[in-house]
Structure 1
Amino acid sequence: MVQSVELVLDEGLDARVREEWAALRDAGLPSQARHTGASNAPHVTVGVADLVDAEGEAALAGIDYGPDSPLRLGGLLVFGGRTSVLSRAVVPTAGLIATHLAVQAALDGAPGRPDTTRPGAWTPHVTLARRLDPDQLAAALSVLADRPRELVGTIRGARRWDGDARATRAVGTDA
């Protein structure tokens, strides 16, 4: 199962993203708001692997995840395919890129690391909705058209999603 390292948003930024989730849900569209599990929270994924061994866990615990570092969510971003994923782009900063590189180094050699999370291919984002068909995507863009172009906040900390246990836990500094 997937193991990931995620940056968690501060309370205010988290609330603004959840407002966008709710607007999509209230319009009858796919939305992350429909995932009601306790682990569901707006986040930025900085690393993914199928397995993280004890050495990797120790390396991840030693990373400074930049709590209280600025985090700016930019415009809407669409990942296409048979269906689309609608996200908010994350505007990269030197600190965010350094955190990403540190996580990638900690996961070096771990199995099942997708190319899309590796340096040079990673697109930082916060997911708003998944599995949108073309009509739903057009409707979602319309629903969110009047939202602010940018949402600004900070990184609260980091967490680990453990797909085997289907649970999250803080990693490094407080999350």
Structure 2
Amino acid sequence: MTMAVCLLFDTRSDRRVRELWSRLEAEGIATLATHTHGRHHPHLSYAVLRSWDQQRVQSALAALPRAEPFSMTVHGTLTFPGGRAALAPSIPPDVALRQARTVTALREAGADLHRHYEPGDWVPHISAATRASGSQIPTMARIVADFLPITLRVDRAALIDTAAGESWPLPHIL
């Protein structure tokens, strides 16, 4: 089981990402829409935790400064090992600083983070495909390219249990 600190999108942006997921699924490319429990939200993860004390983590995140909603534009896609593909957003400059501040607070709360979310290693991304085979990558890339560019708006944050799909809204955007 893992826990993720996620930035979530406004209704319009959430709907647009789900529309992309539907297009990919229609071509037989697995997405978060059908992955595991099927209750995944389109999101941008600030951190993925391998071990944590939930109360300490929630308190640490609540103590971080409030950030304003923001928009980001996606012009391309990324592929990761294991058949995973994601949208590559252009983030505002302060978002990387806020992600690093979030990681520091999580560490101070005793959480153990996945190494890909350490400052300097974090690659901002929004999941598109979860298990595309090598032969599906060109189709996935075409579908995503035809869908872009897209502007997405972050308007809230949550702590999400990725195994069960349960979420706990955070008091403000981080």
TM range (shorter): 0.7 to 0.9
Q: Tell me: CA distance 1:105–1:112, structure 2 relative to 1, closer, same or farther (3 Å).
A: closer
The one-letter code of the counterpart of 1:113 is L
SS at match of 2:91: coil
Match of 2:12 in 1: 12
Q: Tell me: CA distance 1:95–1:65, structure 2 relative to 1, closer, same or farther (3 Å).
A: farther
Per the TM alignment, residue 94 of structure 1 is displaced from its structure 2 partner at its CA by: 2.2
The size of the alignment, in residue pairs, is 171
Q: Tell me: CA distance 1:76–1:21, structure 2 relative to 1, closer, same or farther (3 Å).
A: same
The one-letter code of the counterpart of 2:159 is R
The one-letter code of the counterpart of 2:25 is R
1:44·1:124 contact (CA, 8 Å) conserved in 2?
yes
SS at match of 1:40: coil
Match of 1:24 in 2: 24
Gaps of 5+ in 1: none
Per the TM alignment, residue 49 of structure 1 is displaced from its structure 2 partner at its CA by: 1.5
Give the share of equivalent positions with the same residue, in percent. Answer: 24
Match of 1:45 in 2: 45
The one-letter code of the counterpart of 2:89 is V
| Cα distance in 2, alignment partners of residues 56 and 14 from structure 1 | 26
Gaps of 5+ in 2: none
* TM-score normalized by the length of structure 1: 0.86
Per the TM alignment, residue 38 of structure 1 is displaced from its structure 2 partner at its CA by: 6.4
2:2·2:162 contact (CA, 8 Å) conserved in 1?
yes
* TM-score normalized by the length of structure 2: 0.86
2:36·2:163 contact (CA, 8 Å) conserved in 1?
no
Pairing 1:59–2:60 present: yes
Alignment of 1:1-175 (within 5 A): 1-35=1-35, 37=37, 39-53=39-53, 54-64=55-65, 66-79=67-80, 81=81, 83-108=82-107, 110-148=110-148, 150-163=149-162, 166-173=165-172
| Cα distance in 1, alignment partners of residues 33 and 136 from structure 2 | 16
1:32·1:129 contact (CA, 8 Å) conserved in 2?
yes
